[in-house]
Amino acid sequence: MLNQLRQGAQGLTSKVLIALLVLSFAIWGVGGFEGYGAGTLATVGDQEVTVQEFANLYDQAQRVAQQSGQRANADQVLGQLLAAAAVDDEASRYGLGISGDRVAREIAKNTAFQNAGGTFDRERFDALLVNARIDRDDYIEDVKRDLVRSQISESIGAGVEVPQPMVEAIYRLRNEERTISYFVVDGQTIEAVGAPSEAGLQAYFEDSKARFRAPEYRQLALLTLDPAALADPEAVSEEELAAEYQRRKAGFEQPERRRVEQVRFADAAAAEAALKKTEAGQSIAAIAEEAGTEVTDLGLKTKAEFIDSAVADAAFAAEMNTPVAVSEGAIEPSLIQVTEIEPGTVTPLEDVEPRLRTEIATRTAREKLSDFYDQVEDERAGGATLEEAAEKLSLPHRVVDAVSEDAATPDGGRISDIPSLQQVLREAFLSDIGIENSPIRTEGDSWVFFEVTDITPARDRTLDEVRDEVVAAWTASETESRIAQRADALLQRLEAGENLDALAAEIGKPVLTVEQVKRGAPPAGLTANAINQAFAGPEGHAANADGEGHNRIILRVDRVVVPGFFAEADDAKAIRSQLSTALENDILATFHQQLRENRKISVNNAVYQQVIGQLTGQVPLQ
């Protein structure tokens, strides 16, 4: 099992997953798993991975995976946690740490904590943590730990030197240029295909019958609980509107902003001593110079945009140009001074009324969603169909007469307006008539209830049913075959020594020439396959390549130019950078593997399987 977990912690997929989890952490929070407790799920050296940590990350992984119609990989998630714990254990061994200023900058960079203007919003930061039931100090410690991990990773991969011959070889490969002459063999260069004979069409149809087979169609009854659809903005009373405006008034204000200068100190005593010097007339710039540090301009910000709440409180209580010492509750002790104040403004209710009405109505509908869910389930448990339940509860009901598993309809159209369409169809085609299916949760906290009410089996169509389609397919196939035969014959003659221009003139096509063509960059008129074919041989090389549609391209390489290597060229620098990154990643993967192999790793498999089972079998809306 541990080998599988080690493998799960490596590779591009796992890196993408963990990046998504970091982002989703701030969006969704980590609530909902108090029942698991804080027991130990695994140990790596002296570090622990708790049940809570795994439950949180695995839940987030499931949500991310569901958006692409996939399932989360539990071993991969646990492997990531074990890898992180191994790095933490190494950091603890060397006593590595990080400064409060660096932590503050990192938190401010997180877009989840920024307002619409792209600046840090401390109220949003606090609200997200409260919603996620995360202690502020614990979160800051987590950020410190992640930064320490980055320190280790960056130091391990730093200074990698890429061998010059490797850079040179790739540089020459990418920058080699070729001159290519070619002409196109298309439908105009062959005898007209005409209409197929009845016998020929029938034979073609028999050979390709599976291609024209009618798929299985299913009739579906759908009941969707969607807060946006159930919302009624006009039902929002004036009292509700006014109360909502007052409750959220801070969000409609442009709060007062203050510009603050800050000098950081090692401890509170140093900050207090600096304050006394300012009272004696010394400027904070002089104090900073004397202390061997600098004055930091924190910018013109609202109170909520300051990362350190202690600094924010002090700044918005201070007088202009009056230094204040900040130590208690601060990330780092400091001396601050307000140098600019910009008054705030308020947006009136009438300007935001339409939006507030919609948001209140949607929130009310979302709050009632659980009740609607339970009522629908009660009706189904009593034997009611979805149509009957929808009619009784005044909920929207829909019937899709016929749809295939790939969302096609018998008339050649496609269904596209069902929430979580792919999952609904996948589950519907695993179900049967009369089966009570579990509802599907969609994005936006919606639910889709569905029933299969009829099934039209897949069948072979007759030629008369699809005659036009078969004629079109036969014509295309015959055209492609004749073009390919003509192109093959022309290439053989070219390779035998005949002139390219003469061959092109014979079929009434001009010879076109393109110069300075590089790999991977097809110019207009040439396909990627044509470029690949052109670079498959030396000067004079000829090829028959894929063209657009059924067309073929007969080409000849007239000239090959291998570039000289310039180490300082932008291309060479870019290649060196790309190779360095790849080598650093390989070194890091080896380092992380070594960390895990040099530590005792223990996983409580019974608890692990229990948690996975509970997470994947949760009862909706509980």
- CATH number, domain of 203, equals 3.10.50
Burial of 77 (0-12, 13-18, 19+ CB in 10 A): buried
| One domain, residues 12 and 153 | yes
Strands ordered across the beta sheet of 40-44 = 47-50, 40-44, 601-603
SS3 596: helix
Q: What is the pLDDT of residues 403-452, one digit of tens each?
A: 999 999 998 899 998 888 999 999 999 999 989 999 998 876 789 999 99
Element (H, E) at 488: helix 467-495
Q: Are residues 394 and 512 in the same domain?
A: no
Residue 324: other Cβ atoms inside 10 A: 19
* Domain boundary pick from 456, 487, 512: 456
**Structural domain count of the chain:** 4
Q: Which of 343, 370, 395 is the last residue of a domain?
A: 343
Q: CA angle, 122 as apex, 360 and 117 as ends, to 5°?
A: 75
Q: What is the pLDDT of residue 68?
A: 63
Among candidate residues 431, 456, 481, the one where a domain is terminated: 456
What is the SS3 assignment for 339?
A: strand
Which stretches of the chain score pLDDT less than 50?
1-37, 617-622
239 in a domain, yes or no?
no
Residues 510 and 554 in one domain: yes
* pLDDT at residue 501 in the model: 95
pLDDT 10s digits, 60-80? 787 777 666 677 788 888 888
Classify residue 574: in a domain, yes or no: no
**Domain housing 476:** 177-210+466-561
Tell me the Cα Rg of the chain: 34
Question: Distance between terminal CA atoms of the chain?
Answer: 32
Q: Is 10 in the same domain as 149?
A: yes
Number of alpha helices (DSSP H) and beta strands (DSSP E) in the chain: 22, 17
Query: Residue 147's pLDDT is what?
Result: 86
Residue 437 inside a domain? The answer is yes
Position 249 in a domain: no
Closest CA to 79 of 595, 501, 502, 579: 595
Using CA atoms, how far residue 560 sits from 79, 556, 582, in Å, is 49, 11, 30
Six-digit token string for 529: 């396959």
Q: Which burial class, exposed, middle or buried, applies to 497 when counting CB atoms under 10 A from its CB (0-12, 13-18, 19+)?
A: exposed
* 151 and 24 in a common domain: yes
Same domain, 366 and 474: no
What is the helix (H) or strand (E) element at residue 304, kind and residue range?
none
Coil, strand or helix: which one is 203?
A: helix
Are 62 and 95 contained in the same domain?
yes
Q: Please tell me whether residues 538 and 597 are part of one structural domain.
A: no
The answer to whether residues 119 and 201 belong to one domain is no
CATH code for the domain of 593: 1.10.4030.10
Structural contact between residues 601 and 43, judged by C-beta atoms closer than 8 angstroms: yes
Q: Is residue 381 part of a domain?
A: yes
pLDDT of residue 9: 41
From residue 256, alpha-carbon distances to 252, 315, 316, 340 in Å are 13, 12, 9, 11
Residue 26 counted as domain residue: yes
46 and 128 share one domain:
yes
Q: Are residues 90 and 149 in the same domain?
A: yes
- Tell whether 356 is covered by a domain: yes
CA distance 594 to 598: 6
Let me know whether 277 and 309 are in one domain: yes
Residue 326 domain-assigned (yes or no):
yes
Selection from 190, 186, 191, 179 nearest residue 555 by Cα: 179
